Structure 1
Amino acid sequence: MTQSLDKIEVKKITGVSAQKQGELHAFGVSTVKDLLEYYPFRYEDYRPRTLSEVKHGDKVTLETKVIGIPVLQRFGGKSRLSCKMVAEPWMFTATWFNRQYVREQLTIGREIVLTGKWDQKRNQITVTDYEFPDRGEGKTGTLQPVYSVGAKITQSWIRKVIHQALQQFGDLIPEILPQLILRKYDFMPRKRAIATIHKPEDSQEGQQGRRRMVYEELFLFQLKVQAFRVLNRGRMDGVVHTTDNATIRQFVRSLPFELTNAQKSVELEILHDMRSPYCMNRLLQGDVGSGKTVLAAIALFTTVRSGFQGALMVPTEILAEQHMRSLTKMFEPFEITVGLLTGSVNGRKRKDLLASLQMGMTDIVVGTHALIQEDVFFRSLGMVVTDEQHRFGVNQRGVLRRKGYNPDVLTMTATPIPRTLAITVFGDMDVSTLSERPKGRVPITTYWVKHDLLERVLKLIRREVDQGRQAYLICPLIEESDKLDVQNVIDLHIQMSQAFPDFKVGLLHGRMTPGEKDEVMRAFYSNDLQLLVSTTVVEVGVDVPNATLMVIMDADRFGLSQLHQLRGRVGRGVHASFCVLVADPKSEIGRERMSAMTETDDGFEVSRRDLELRGPGDFFGTKQSGLPEFRLADMTADFDVLEQARDDAAELLKDAQFWTSPDFAPLRSYLQGEQIFQGDLID
C-alpha cells in the first residue's frame, strides 16, 4: 500500500536532523506533505540581462569580467570593496559592503556573475550575490524561490531540503483532480505543478504550476461547501417554526420605529428559512447601525412563539447586558422572559437561571462564552444567534449549536464584504445583506489631520465635553515600543489626564481583565468618564449615544474596515458626531486609507477599498474567522478562479457519476476526510 505524504515525518528526508525537524515544526511543517506545500512567496531572478534593459534602482544579474584591481576601504568596523568591471560594451563599478574576503578572488580577466541593485547615476552595482562560472556554481540563468524563513532555517537550506524531498518522495504525490477538469483547463499533472512552483524553468512555467495549484485549493474548498449544501439541504430534521404572520406583525408594529425596506426584505428571508424543515444557516451582514439586532429580535420572537427557546451569544459582558436590556424592553408586552448569563453571573443567581433554562421557564438567554459551559442545558433550543461571529472560534460556535437538536443558526457581522464575495466564500451559508440605513441615523463627519495639528484636536475634544458630550481617543499600542514610532495608550492616558485636569479620563486596553474592562465601559456609558483613551478593544463594544467624537491616533496603522468599525462607535445618538484621523502616512497605501475614510462612510464601499489595499488575508483576520487559509490562492486576485471553481464543484456534485466513478474517488476520499458526510454544519 502506498504511504501517504501526510503520514511521513520530515525527519525521513535525507539531511533533516532531529534539531532541524524541531526548527521546521516552528514553521508549521511536520510532514513531507507540509514541506512540499510550503510554497515560496516570490522568486529571485538570476537570469542575466544587459545594461541597456536596466532602469535605475532595478535588481539585476549581469555576466561580467574583472578589468581593474579591487580597492578596499575601511571605516569604523565596516568595509567597502570596489572593482572595475565590464559587461560588453559597458564599463562600471561593482561594490561589496563588509565582504573584504572577495578581494582575493577578483583577478583581472576572471569572469563573474553579479546580482545586485543598479545605480544609474553612479554607474555602479551594489552586489548582494555573486558566483564564478569557473567553479560550476548553479544559480545563474535560474529563478530561485524565496521562502518565509528565519532563525536557523536559511534560504539555501530549505531550497536544498525541498529539492531532496521531491527526489525522495515526489512519486508519492497523488493526483486529486479528475481527468475532465485537467483536460478542461489544460492543467499540468499535480506532481509536476508542485515541483515547478519550487523551481520553475522560467516564469511562464512557474505561472502554469501556480495556476493549477491555485485552482485546486479553491476547487477543494468549494467542493466542501457545495457538498455540505447537497447533503444537508434535504434533511428533514431541522426545527420548523410555526408562528403565523399575524402574530409576527403584531410584534413588529409594537416597535417604536418602522423597518426599512432592506430590513423587511431580510425579515422575509429569515422567516422563510425558519419555517422550512431544514436547518437555517444564515449570515446577516450589515454596516454599523444598520439594524441587525431588530431582525435577531424578530427571529427570537418567532422562535419563542413556536414553542422553542433562543440564545444570543456576544463577545463581551457589557454588550450582553446592552442586548439583554433592549430585548427585555421589546418583549415585555408579550410576556417573553429574557435571562443574562455571563462570567459575572454566579452563585444562587446562576443556579436559578440554569434551572430555569433547563425547565424551559426562561425563553431567551443572552450571554458571553459562559453560554457554552458544560453545565448549561436547554429544554428546547430552537434558535442560536451569534453577534460579531469573528470574535468566536469555530469550536465555540459549534458547542452552543449542539446544545439543541439542529437549531436554526443566525450569524451577524458588522464587517460587510461585497455580496458576491460573501456568497462565494461563505458557500455553506445563505447571505442576507442590510445595505440601507435606518431613518434618522446621524451622519458622521470625518477629518484627516497631521500630528502638528493636534492642538486643534484637543480644542475639539474640549468643545464636545463642555457641551456635555463624550469622546474616544484610540491608539495602536499598549506600551512604548522600540520598533514602532507610534502613540501608546498608557502614555496617551497620562498626557490627556494632564491636558484635561477637569475631565475624568478612563483607560482601556486588552491586557486588563474582563471585569476591569467592563467596569471602565460602564463608567463611560453612565458618563462618569468624559474621555476614554483606549486600544481597539472598543471596536465591538457598548452603545454610548452620548459619545460624539472619535479620535484615532496613528490612524494609518489600521486597516480601513477597522477604522470604519471604530468610527461606528459614535453617531449613535441625536447629536452631530465626528471622527478625526491623526496620521502622517509615509506610504501610498496609508494615504489612500485616509482619503477613503474622508470620502465615504458607506461600510460596503470601505470594505471594497480595504480588500483592494490589503488583500483578503488581513481583511478577514485570523483563523478565528472560520475562513480557509489558502497557501497560494488570493481571494482578491484569484476571485475569477474562485467563482469558476464554485460553478465546477456545483456542476460535478449534480452528476450521479461523481458518487460512483473511480475517477472521482480521490475527491470522495477528500470529502470523507473533511467529515462532510457526518452532517455537521461547516463554520
Structure 2
Amino acid sequence: MSILIEPVTNVQGIGESKKSDLESLGILTVGDLLEYLPFRYDDNKLKSLPEIEHDEKATIEGKVHSEPSLRHFPRKKSRLSVRVLVGEKFLITAVFFNRAFLKNQITPGQTVTLKGKWDKHKMTLNASDIHFGPYQSDQSIEPVYPLRGEIYMKSLRKMIQQAFQQYGQLIPEVLPESLSMRYKLMKRGEALYRMHFPSSFDVLKMARRTLVYEELLLFQLKMQLFKKINREMSQGKSLNLSKEKTQAFISSLPFTLTEAQARVVGEILKDLQSPYRMNRLLQGDVGSGKTAVGAVALYAAVTAGKQGALMVPTEILAEQHFQSLEKMFAPFGIRTELLTSSVKGKKRKEILQSLSEGEISVMIGTHALIQDEVNFKDLGLVITDEQHRFGVNQRRVLREKGSFPDVLFMTATPIPRTLAISAFGDMDVSTIDVMPAGRKTIKTHWAKHDMLSRILEFVRKELKKGRQAYVICPLIEESEKIDVQNAIDVHAQLSMYFGENASVGLMHGRLHPSEKEQVMRQFAENESQILVSTTVVEVGVNVPNATVMIIYDADRFGLSQLHQLRGRVGRGSEQSYCILIADPKSEEGQERMTIMTETANGFELSEKDLQLRGPGDFFGSKQSGLPDFKTADLVHDYRVLETARKDAAELVFSEYFWKEDQYTPLRVHLEAAGVFQNDRLD
C-alpha cells in the first residue's frame, strides 16, 4: 500500500508546475494517478471512406497531396486546410482550426493519420488530431479522461505511462486468490494498466469486470461489517411477545393479510424476538398495506410489556393513523394516544405524564415525539413512516427515547433492488411486493395541453358524483425561464372555471406549516373539492373520496415521483383516474409518459426510472447516501452487485475472514476506510 501514497512528484517528469495542475484533478499521490480512470473510450479503428457515415467521428490514413493553406481571422483565430489523398482515388480536405503551427510541419508526400468529424457532402474532415506517420493498430482504442486547467490528454497519458513503468510491478493485490480464481479475474495491476492502455475491447471488458467486482466487494464488505458490528454493539433485548395474542389480533383485522404482508410480519416478529436490535427498512408500494404490518408489530411489542411509537411527517397523517390504529387496538384494551404540536395545555400535560408512567402503550405523532419533555417508561419499538422525510438526527433522537428499542423504517417509495442494497445495505430490507386483492387499478391517461377543456369537463362530471380531484403543478409562480403551468395561475383559472360549483384549495411549500395543515384538512373533510398543489402533497393525507389526479407538465417529473403522486388517489372503492398533461419534446419524456400509462407496479417503474435517470437523481443526488464509484455503475452492474453482496456477507460472518492471511489486504483496506471506528457505526 505504501507506494500508492507517495507524492505524485515521485513520478519522473512531474515537477512542481505539473503537480499543481494534477491537484486540480484530485491527483495528489502515485495511487491517485494510477487510478485516475478514463470516462470513455473512442474507437479509432481505421475505416475506408465509403463505410464512414456523415457527421461520424472517424480515423483516416492518407498522403498529403498539396501545400497546406492558412487563413488568419481576428482574435488570433485561424483555419488551416490541406488536401489529402485517401487510398488511390479519394481526394479530401482536412481542416484544422486554430492550429496554425501545423503549417510548418505538414509537407506534401507525407503519410498522416487524421482524426475528426467527417462531412460526407463536402468531402471534408474537421480534424481534431493528426499523427505523422501511418496508422498504428495499438492506437485503435483511445481512452478519454476528464480534464481541466493546463493538463492535456497526451501529457496525462504520458505521465500515467511513466507511473506504470516505475510502479506498475509494485501494485498490491486486494482480492484474495480464491475469489480471483473463482471469477477468472485479472491481477489488480494488470487490470488497472489495461483500463488505461487496452489492447482490445475484449481485454478492456475483462479489466473493467475485475475492478468493478473489487470496488463493489469492498463497498459491500463495509456495509456488512457495519451491520455486523452494529448488531453486536446494539445490546438489543429479546422481546417475550405473545404469539397467541398476536395471532388473535391478526385474525381480528377486517381483511386477510396478503402473502407478502404475512411474510414481512414473520420477518419483523423474528427480529423482535432476537437478542439483537432490529434495524429494518419496510418498503411497499402506495396502498400495499404497510400500516397494517406496522400495527401488528406495535401490538406484538405491547404483548411483551413494551411501549411503541409511530412517527409520521405531517399532523393530518398522524391523526389519520391515530384514528385507524385506535380502532384496531381499542377492543384489546390498548391505550393509544396522539401527540402533535396542536396538542397543548392540560391535555398535553396529561398525555406526557401517562406516557412516562406507562399507561399509554402506543404513541402516534409528528416530530413532536422527539422533544425533550417526551419520556417513555419502556419504549420497545420505534416505527418511522416515510423515513426519508426525517433527518438522521431526528430519527436518532426518537430511538434514544428508549433503552435500545427495535427500529422499523417504512417508505412508500419503491426502491430498486440495486439501490436498496447500496443505500440501505447495513439494514435488513423487507418488501411488500403484492397489492391487496380487490384494489382497483388507477386508469392512467396521457393528454396534450390542447385537450384541457375535455379534461376539465371530465373533472366536472366526477365532482357532480360527489368526488374530489388533485391538480399538481411543477412551480409555485410563473417563471420566465421555464414555460410550465404554475400553481398560483392554475388555482386562479380553476376557481374561475368552476365558480360556485366547487371550492378550490391551494397548497405549496411556501405556506406556513399550520396553513398547509389547514388546506389539507379542508380537502380531507371535503370542504374543498379541488386541491391545486405543488409536489408537497406527494406524501400527505389519505382522502378515499379523491378519484382524479391531474398532473400538469408531467414530463418534468421522474417516474417514481409521478407514481407517488398517482398514489394519492385510488384509496376508496370508486374507480380512480390519473391524467398526465404533457407535450414532451424529447424521446425520453415521451417514453416516461408511455411507461406511466402502461405500468401500475411501483417497483417496475422504479427500475425504469433508475435506468432513465441514474442513481444520483433517483433520491436526489445530495441525500442519496450513495458513494461515487470509480468504475462500477449501479444500473448496469447490478448482477455483480448481487454477487459482491453475497460474497461479502459470507466473508464477514465467516471465522476465516478474521484469521487467514489471504484476507489481510481486504482488512487493511477496510481499516483505512475507518470501518472499525465505533463513531462511524451509527
TM-score normalised according to structure 1 size: 0.83
Which residue type is aligned with residue 116 of structure 1? G
Is residue 559 of structure 2 the alignment partner of residue 560 of structure 1? Answer: yes
Specify the SS of the correspondent of 2:403: coil
CA separation in 2, counterparts of 1:102 and 1:192? 38
1:384 shift after superposition = 1.7
Secondary structure of the structure 2 residue equivalent to 1:563: helix
How far 1:578 sits from its partner (Å)? 0.5
Pair 1:188 & 2:186 matched: yes
Partner of 2:90 in structure 1? 91
Where does residue 280 of structure 1 map in the other structure?
278
Letter of the aligned partner of 2:467 in structure 1? R
Distance 1:388 1:655 in 2: 35
CA contact (8 A) 1:225 1:682 kept: no
Matched, 1:117 2:113: no
Distance in 2 between residues matched to 1:169 and 1:512, nearest whole Å: 60
Greater Cα shift, 487-496 or 405-414: 487-496
Q: Quick one: distance in 2 between partners of 1:504 and 1:108?
A: 82
Partner of 1:652: 651
The residue identity in structure 2 corresponding to 1:595 is T
1:203 to 197, 201, 215: 201
Q: Following TM superposition, by how much is the alpha carbon of 1:159 offset from its aligned partner in structure 2, in angstroms?
A: 6.7
Change (3 A) 1:576 1:184: closer
Tell me the secondary structure at the aligned position of residue 634 of structure 1.
Answer: coil
* SS of corresponding position for 2:115: strand
Distance in 1 between residues matched to 2:351 and 2:7, nearest whole Å? 51
Cα distance, 1:175–1:622 mapped onto 2, change above 3 Å? same
Relative to structure 1, is the Cα distance of residues 116 and 243 closer, same or farther in structure 2, using a 3 angstrom cutoff?
same
> How has the CA–CA distance of structure 1 residues 189 and 313 changed in structure 2, closer, same or farther, with 3 Å as cutoff?
farther
Q: Tell whether 2:578 aligns with 1:579.
A: yes
> What amino acid does structure 1 have at the position aligned with 2:641?
L
SS of the residue corresponding to residue 220 of structure 1 reads: helix
Tell me how far 1:143 sits from its aligned partner. 1.0
Choose which of 443, 446, 449 in structure 2 pairs with 1:448: 446
Pairing of 1:460-499 with structure 2 (within 5 A): 460-478=458-476, 484-499=482-497
Q: CA deviation at 1:582?
A: 1.9
1:265 aligns with 2:263: yes
- Taking the aligned partners of 1:37 and 1:81, their CA distance within structure 2 comes to 37
Q: Is residue 260 of structure 2 the alignment partner of residue 243 of structure 1? A: no
Distance 2:492 2:153 in 1: 46
CA spacing shift, 1:299–1:9, aligned 2, 3 Å: farther
Conserved? CA contact 1:112–1:130, under 8 Å: no
Deviates more, 1:366-375 or 1:433-442: 366-375
Partners of 1:652 and 1:658 within 8 A in 2: yes
Letter in 2 for 1:538: V
Q: Could you tell me which residue of structure 2 aligns to residue 597 of structure 1? A: 596
Query: Comparing 606-615 with 659-668, which one deviates more in the overlay?
Result: 606-615
1:597-644 CA distance string (max 9 Å, x none): 222312233334434444444445546354554332223322222232
CA distance in 2: counterparts of 1:621 and 1:369, whole angstroms? 23
Question: 1:648 corresponds to which letter in structure 2?
Answer: D
The code of the aligned residue for 1:133 comes to F
Alpha-carbon distance, 1:169 to partner: 8.1
Pair 1:501–1:224, CA change in 2 (3 A): same
- Residues 571-597 of structure 1, C-alpha deviation per residue, up to 9 Å, x if partnerless? 112322101122233444333322222
1:381 aligns with 2:391: no
**CA distance in 2 between partners of 1:86 and 1:488 (Å):** 60
Residues 236 and 414 from structure 1, CA distance in 2 versus in 1: closer, same or farther, beyond 3 angstroms?
closer
Q: Which amino acid aligns with 2:320?
A: Q
Residue 208 of structure 2 aligns to a residue whose secondary structure is helix
**After the TM superposition, which residues 147-162 of structure 1 pair with which residues of structure 2 at under 5 Å, given as runs?**
147=146
Asked if the contact 2:418–2:638 (Cα under 8 Å) also holds between the matched residues in 1, the reply is: no
Q: Which deviates more from structure 2 when the two are superposed, residues 165-174 or residues 389-398?
A: 165-174
Within a 5 Å distance, the mapping from 1:18-167 to structure 2 comes to 39-67=37-65, 70=69, 84-89=83-88, 91=90, 93-94=92-93, 99=98, 113-127=113-127, 129-131=128-130, 133=132, 141=140, 143-147=142-146
Residue of structure 1 in register with 2:525 after alignment: 526
Q: Is the 8 A contact 1:390 1:625 kept in 2?
A: no
Asked if 2 retains the 8 angstrom alpha-carbon contact of 1:493 and 1:505, the reply is: yes
Return the alpha-carbon distance in structure 2 between the equivalents of residues 545 and 132 of structure 1: 70
Task: Determine if the alignment matches structure 1 residue 415 to structure 2 residue 444.
Answer: no
Asked if structure 1 preserves the Cα contact closer than 8 Å seen for 2:422 and 2:626, the reply is no
Deviates more, 1:169-178 or 1:276-285: 169-178
Deviations 1:538-566 (A, max 9, x none): 22221122221112223233332222111
Q: Equivalent residue of 1:517, what SS?
A: helix
**Counterpart of 1:404?**
402
Q: Which amino acid aligns with 2:544?
A: P
Alignment partners' CA distance in 1, 2:51 and 2:173: 41
Deviates more, 1:394-403 or 1:65-74: 65-74
Query: For the residues of structure 1 that align with 2:162 and 2:395, how far apart are their CA atoms?
Result: 42
Q: CA deviation at 1:305?
A: 2.6
Q: Give the SS at the match of 1:636.
A: coil
Matching of residue 545 in structure 1 with residue 544 in structure 2: yes
User: SS at 2:398's partner residue?
Assistant: helix
| Aligned residue-pair number | 677
2:431 is equivalent to residue 433 of structure 1: yes
Counterparts of 1:641-680 in structure 2 under 5 Å? Answer: 641-653=640-652, 655-672=654-671
Asked whether the equivalents of residues 238 and 279 of structure 1 are also in contact (C-alpha less than 8 Å), the reply is: yes
Asked whether the 8 Å contact 1:228–1:679 carries over to 2, the reply is: no
1:292 counterpart = 2:293: no
Structure 1 residues 261-270 or 294-303, which shifts more? 261-270
Residue 210 of structure 2: aligned partner: 212
Checking the alignment, whether the CA contact within 8 Å between 1:44 and 1:146 is kept in structure 2 is no
- Stretches of structure 2 that go unaligned for 5 or more consecutive residues are none
* Partner SS, residue 290 of structure 1: coil
What is the alpha-carbon distance in structure 2 between the residues aligned to residue 179 and residue 649 of structure 1?
A: 15
Q: Contact 1:45 / 1:143 at 8 angstroms: preserved in 2? A: yes
Instruction: Tell me, in whole angstroms, the C-alpha distance in 2 between the residues paired with 1:154 and 1:508.
Output: 52
Determine the structure 2 residue equivalent to 1:634: 633
Label 1:350 to 1:119 Cα distance change in 2 as closer, same or farther (>3 A). Answer: farther
| One-letter identity of the residue aligned with 2:331 | P
Contact in 1 for aligned 2:487/2:534 (Cα 8 Å): yes
85 and 586 in structure 1: CA distance in 2 versus 1, 3 angstrom threshold:
farther
Shift of 1:446: 0.7
Match of 2:623 in 1: 624
State the distance in 2 between where 1:445 and 1:272 align.
39
Q: Is the 8 A contact 2:9 2:16 kept in 1?
A: no
Q: Give the partner amino acid of 1:412.
A: M
Q: Distance in 2 between matches of 1:602 and 1:368?
A: 29
SS of equivalent residue, structure 1 residue 646? helix
What is the letter of the counterpart of residue 415 of structure 1? Answer: T
**Alpha-carbon distance in structure 1 between the residues aligned to 2:21 and 2:480:** 31
1:115 partner letter = K
How big is the shift at 1:674? 5.7
SS of residue matched to 2:380: strand
Q: Structure 1 residues 654, 269: CA separation in 2 closer, same or farther (over 3 Å shift)?
A: closer
Q: CA offset at residue 212 of structure 1?
A: 1.6
Residue type at the aligned position of 1:144: P
* Counterpart-to-counterpart distance in 2, 1:377 and 1:170: 60
Q: Secondary structure at the match of 2:668?
A: helix
| Partner Cα separation in structure 2 for residue 365 and residue 505 of structure 1 | 34
Supply the AA of the counterpart residue of 1:63: E
